[in-house]
Structure 1
Amino acid sequence: MGPMVDSHLAILAGISLSFVAVKALRWFIKKRQNIPSLPPGPMPFPLLGNVLSIDTKKPWLTYTEWRAVYGDLIFVQILDQEVVVINSQHIAQALLDNRSRIYSDRPYLATLKPYGWLVSFAFIGYNDEWRLCRRLFHQTFRPKSVVRFRQMQIRRARDMVANLVSDPQHYHSHFATFSSSVAMSTVYGYDTSTRNDPLVEIVINAMTGLAMLTPERAIMLKAFPFLLNVPDWCWGSSIKRSAQASSKHVNEMVNVPFQHAREHMADSSQSSMVGENLRRMEMQDEASKPMFETSLKKAATTAIVGSYETMTSTLMAFTLAMVLYPDVQKRAQAEIDSVIGRDRLPMFEDRASLPYIDAILRETFRWAPAVPLGVPHATSSADLYDGYFIPKGATVVCNTWGISRDEKRYPQASHFIPDRFIDVNGLLTDDDPAEYIFGLGRRICPGRYAADTSLWSAIATMLATVDISSAKDDQGKTIDFTAKFMVGVVRYLASP
């Protein structure tokens, strides 16, 4: 046994030394050729790269820890994929905003096609199809256009509160219904039921597949694509079955509400993204209609998915914060009472007079970013930044979590402190996490203005009408709980 172990150790040592020698040789050659070095980062292992050093469930935590060692721009090797991690808003703006021509592509994800998620233009590459989808989306959700949705958003927020009062136990379901109903109205012109709406149920079913688009699953399918074809009785077939189920649900989410909007174009009393563009499509030549309709479906699906995932997650985080920080809730309610009184509910016209409510929204964005690493970008060509070489085809990740947890910028960053966004005069500061929470560059979330107003209407209405606290048992004692977050593309608080 001893000689065998020694021989194994010798082999491992030989491999490690060879790898170090190769790395040293490459470094020496680059120095001789005056080729700029890659950004700093941890030393990778042969073949595996840095994958063993990263928390695959919560990689943003690893990248945030590495910032203290390697800085705000880090190079990481994950198997054969080169990854550049951005840990500061300044660098993110310098690259993703100011050099958006290079940083607007998307990396290949092996999970997208089998799980049916190429229907979201948020994931597709930077090309003509993406530009058409983006234009269709922007027409409906640009700042001037979203103003027309405000009355509907307030009405839906009040429906949500009514559900919370009558059935407080299922608060997650009420948040999901609110998020979906706002999106269904703006995208398809569809008025959802306040509870158990069939089209909302279709969206919720499809969202289970989005949670499966984890980095480790993508890496596994990229390395072992045959897993999508193995027999059902074989080990690993669960990936194939989950992909098939996801594709079925996503296909239903794409087509059922779209068909509903098409059938009710004539009798719909409200404007919507799909309804308006279907009318435009009728005036186009027959050759261009198929591509236009496909792009419209992708734009519509992206709006529904983005609204459901991020808004529901943010409302869950807000609710948790109000339970953990009751003094914040009391101060917000006092502000509403002093400005509005108790004879009516908040309206958008009151927003400028309620700075603390906006500070709570900003702090919710910062404290619990729904997408901690954003959606990854990819470089379409090589680049140089601050003396560092960034390769073509590299995956570029903006560590939103790390930016929001910067102790120099946000002291006691793990605590929920809305006052950090209020100045000495009681006004909002210039620091708005929405400037990085929704992404940057040409791939910034195009629905951010509607999301902002929807979330404000929900939070302001909740604070004006209900007290949010921990559940109590039959004896009136507080039930202890531990907040658990689920992770995938979106990080969200698990409902009990």
Structure 2
Amino acid sequence: MTMTSFGGFGSQQLSVHPSLSTLIPISFAAFVLCYIAFNLVSRRFLRRRTKRFPYPPGPPSPSFFLGHYGKTPTRKPWFDYMEMGKMYGELIYFRSLWDNILVINSAQATNAIMERQARITSDRPFGNALDRFTHWDDQIGLVVYSEAWRYTRRTFHQNFRSEAAVKFHPVQIEKTHNFLRSLLELSESPCSDIQSHGDELINYISTLSQGIMIKSVYGLEIQSATNEDFPKAAKELTSLVDRSLLPGGSAYRSVPFAHLLARFVPDALSEFARAQKRMRETMDILREGPFEEAVKAWKSGNRSSLVGELMSQNEIQGGSVEEVNRIKNMGSAALAGRIFTFSYNTQTIH
């Protein structure tokens, strides 16, 4: 950009080169405007070209452009949806950015829609470029239905079905005994601070829950869920992903250039980019860290891990890279599923 300054009897040419910190907000604003324009035009075009049944009733949209983005319930949302159900019925409609969201608000409607019509309703709204960047597409619970999903699900089912899970009973008994001893020690300790005792109790329950899974799948021991790397990473992942799994929480994934913002925008300029990069790092820690530890332990003589057993079988059969990825995905899904279940269960009692 060239600026001309007139002063006194002459003129002076001043060349100004915009910095990266100046260009990024301008580029982002341009992207947002283009997205909004495309959104409006395509919506108007689609409404003219297609005939659709009306959506179910729902709360009025607070914004024409954003819909209910950022306005859907996030703190104990089941209470809010229960109250909304009294006004709007079993099906509640929201629009968040590009996403049309339908909240199913009763067991009867859930069975009718998700079970009886599973062929057309039971897929997952993931699998875009941002999911590939954050490695969400490695998680069996989040990936769209595909051949890769079927193979990973088969590996998961073969090793965690009720008949196969019998081999994990000794680990469950051992960890339960440790948990009961910890409870006994806690009950005998002086109760000077009820809050600290409550925190210790939650830590013991979390250590039991995650300890069983980590020992069964990876053959690794943990002493505390609050002080060791893998449980801490699982807990951090829960806090990062928690809101995204709620209705409307992942609508930003429908923005076509969201993965570019996450990849190229400096962390200091964008909380969104920082959170997505941290999610990617945490996913990698959970997927690669315990897997590498389990393989190392298996090679050194520790034969107590499911991952080590599956890797040994894979090497005998030729060492398929695809099978290695399925084993990694199975292990990280089991660990993440355990911490998510624990987190949601404790939310209901807090």
- Which of 317, 323, 330 is equivalent to 1:284? 317
Matched, 1:119 2:138: yes
d(CA) in 1 for partners of 2:93, 2:249: 22
SS in 2 for 1:268: coil
Q: Give the residue type in structure 2 aligned to 1:130.
A: W
SS in 2 for 1:105: coil
Query: 1:21-32 counterparts in 2 under 5 A?
Result: none
Structure 2 vs 1, CA of residues 92 and 233 (structure 1 numbering), >3 Å: closer, same or farther? closer
5+ residue gaps in structure 2? 1-39, 187-196
SS in 1 for 2:163: helix
- Which of 304, 324, 346 is equivalent to 2:335? 304
Please name the residue that 2:204 is paired with.
174
Structure 2 vs 1, CA of residues 231 and 49 (structure 1 numbering), >3 Å: closer, same or farther? closer
The one-character-per-residue Cα deviations of 1:436-485 (angstroms, maximum 9, x if unpaired) are xxxxxxxxxxxxxxxxxxxxxxxxxxxxxxxxxxxxxxxxxxxxxxx8xx
Matched, 1:255 2:288: yes
The offset of 1:101, in angstroms, is: 2.1
Please name the residue that 2:306 is paired with.
273
Query: 1:385-464 counterparts in 2 under 5 A?
Result: none
RMSD: 3.4
- Which of 79, 84, 97 is equivalent to 1:66? 84
d(CA) in 2 for partners of 1:163, 1:283: 42
The offset of 1:285, in angstroms, is: 4.2
Q: Give the residue type in structure 1 aligned to 2:288.
A: N
The offset of 1:110, in angstroms, is: 7.4
d(CA) in 2 for partners of 1:303, 1:143: 15
Structure 2 vs 1, CA of residues 256 and 230 (structure 1 numbering), >3 Å: closer, same or farther? closer
d(CA) in 2 for partners of 1:183, 1:62: 33
The one-character-per-residue Cα deviations of 1:291-348 (angstroms, maximum 9, x if unpaired) are 111111111100011112313553x46xxxxxxxxxxxxxxxxxxxxxxxxxxxxxxx
d(CA) in 2 for partners of 1:111, 1:161: 43
Identity in percent: 25
Please name the residue that 1:205 is paired with.
233
SS in 1 for 2:93: strand
Query: 1:364-383 counterparts in 2 under 5 A?
Result: 368=348
Please name the residue that 1:295 is paired with.
326
Matched, 1:194 2:223: yes
Please name the residue that 1:147 is paired with.
166
d(CA) in 2 for partners of 1:222, 1:95: 24
SS in 1 for 2:240: coil
CA contact (8 A) 2:171 2:216 kept: no
Structure 2 vs 1, CA of residues 313 and 178 (structure 1 numbering), >3 Å: closer, same or farther? farther
The offset of 1:220, in angstroms, is: 4.3
Q: Give the residue type in structure 2 aligned to 1:290.
A: V
- Which of 267, 275, 281 is equivalent to 1:242? 275
Instruction: Report the number of matched residues.
Output: 286
Query: 1:42-81 counterparts in 2 under 5 A?
Result: 42-44=59-61, 45-51=63-69, 54-81=72-99
Using structure 2 for the length normalisation, give the TM-score. Answer: 0.69
Please name the residue that 1:230 is paired with.
265
SS in 2 for 1:265: helix
Structure 2 vs 1, CA of residues 231 and 268 (structure 1 numbering), >3 Å: closer, same or farther? closer
Q: Give the residue type in structure 1 aligned to 2:55.
A: L
CA contact (8 A) 2:143 2:149 kept: yes
d(CA) in 1 for partners of 2:73, 2:150: 35
CA contact (8 A) 1:137 1:299 kept: yes
Structure 2 vs 1, CA of residues 50 and 257 (structure 1 numbering), >3 Å: closer, same or farther? closer
CA contact (8 A) 1:76 1:82 kept: yes
d(CA) in 2 for partners of 1:50, 1:251: 32
d(CA) in 1 for partners of 2:117, 2:107: 14
d(CA) in 1 for partners of 2:312, 2:288: 18
SS in 2 for 1:264: helix
d(CA) in 1 for partners of 2:239, 2:225: 22
For CA contacts below 8 A with separation 6 or more, give which structure has more relative contact order: 1
d(CA) in 2 for partners of 1:180, 1:88: 31
d(CA) in 2 for partners of 1:193, 1:54: 37
Matched, 1:86 2:114: no
Q: Give the residue type in structure 2 aligned to 1:194.
A: Q
Name the structure with the higher helix share: 2
- Which of 55, 58, 66 is equivalent to 1:38? 55
Matched, 1:135 2:154: yes
Q: Give the residue type in structure 1 aligned to 2:123.
A: D
